Homo-oligomer: A and B are copies of this chain.
Amino acid sequence: MRNGLNMKQLKYAIVGVGGLGGYYGIKLAAAGKDVHFLLNSDYEWVNQNGLRLDSIDGNLHLPTVQSYKQAGEMPACDVIMVCLKTTSNHLLAQILPTLTAKGGSVVLVQNGMGMEESLLETFPDLSLAGALAFICSSKVGPGHILHSDYGKLSLGWKQLPKPGLLEQVCNDLSTAGVSNEVVPDLMAARWRKLVWNIPYNGMSVILRTTTAELMAHDFSRQMLRQLMLEVIHAANACLAAKGSGSSSSESRIDPSFADAMLASTARMKPYAPSMKLDYDHGRPMEIEAIYGNPIRLAQQAGYEMRQVALMENQLRLIQSQYIKS
């Protein structure tokens, strides 16, 4: 099963064609994979002009793509890659039943924590994987994606795994020139990503700045480090609690991971994290997925993330200043 070369080619549905869905979908389609794009506001434009990717690894233009305006028009797909912002996850209640009626596994390519659990409340029988995108990319125009750094996709099963499927996805990604891996403990991988996302996403919004300025002072690096250590503490409390994953004791995050994150960020180009882009464009921020849910999970495991909770409330107040609920 592990060798996908002789297997039936996978059909992909891409739900959410922004910085993530656009990048991975275009790369797969350009490599000859069978990719079907579910579009919303960009549908007419993409139907006329196709999709375009400006990438550090080389530009791609697909003049014609398999595009759809309604989930009901799409064929049965083996892999439904959900690349929406978590703030749009309420749309899935309508979209997913149509797409999964004919089988297929959902791969949730999103940051943060708690989205799989929330999805399984509505769809308890879903074959569900999660994925984390380590990438700097964004949509810069209709059907037009800019990829400026990194790109790796980490995938892991949450429920009802289809044996060999993620490995076949990885083969396809590799063929398409996208670096990838399958992780044994999806929740541990999500926590590790939060060690970066929690300090940098929120602080770039609260302090109206970029990663570079946050890394420019001893005191601000110290602040980031304290936040990282709080996330690592929370992660280890959650991973130690039962039900977190199969290999929780091996998944434990060492505090030295904070220093590794700081060092690798110091080498990055000045960078506005996704939450800063959302803020700059007046879009809702992923506060619940990146802050609220991890805080609640840590609480349930007996650990209070006090600094992270302060940031969450600062972000909620900032969001209330431009989005009236």
- A-side residues, CB < 8 A to B, are 203, 206-207, 209, 213-214, 217, 219-220, 222-223, 226-227, 230, 306-307, 309-311, 313-314, 316-318, 320-321
Shortest CB distance A160–B (Å)? 36
Residue of B nearest to A207 (CB): B317
Q: A206-B206, A306-B307, A307-B307 are in contact. Are A314 and B226 (CB under 8 A)?
A: no
- A317 pairs with B217, CB closer than 8 A: yes
Partner of A313 from the list B209, B222, B313, B317 (CB cut-off 8 Å) is: B222
A214–B220 Cα distance when bound, in Å, is: 25
Partner of A217 from the list B222, B307, B320 (CB cut-off 8 Å) is: B320
Contacts of A318 in B (CB 8 A): 207
Contacts of A206 in B (CB 8 A): 206-207, 314
Shortest CB distance A309–B (Å)? 7
Q: A206-B206, A306-B306, A307-B307 are in contact. Are A316 and B226 (CB under 8 A)?
A: no
Q: A306-B307, A307-B306, A307-B307 are in contact. Are A314 and B223 (CB under 8 A)?
A: yes
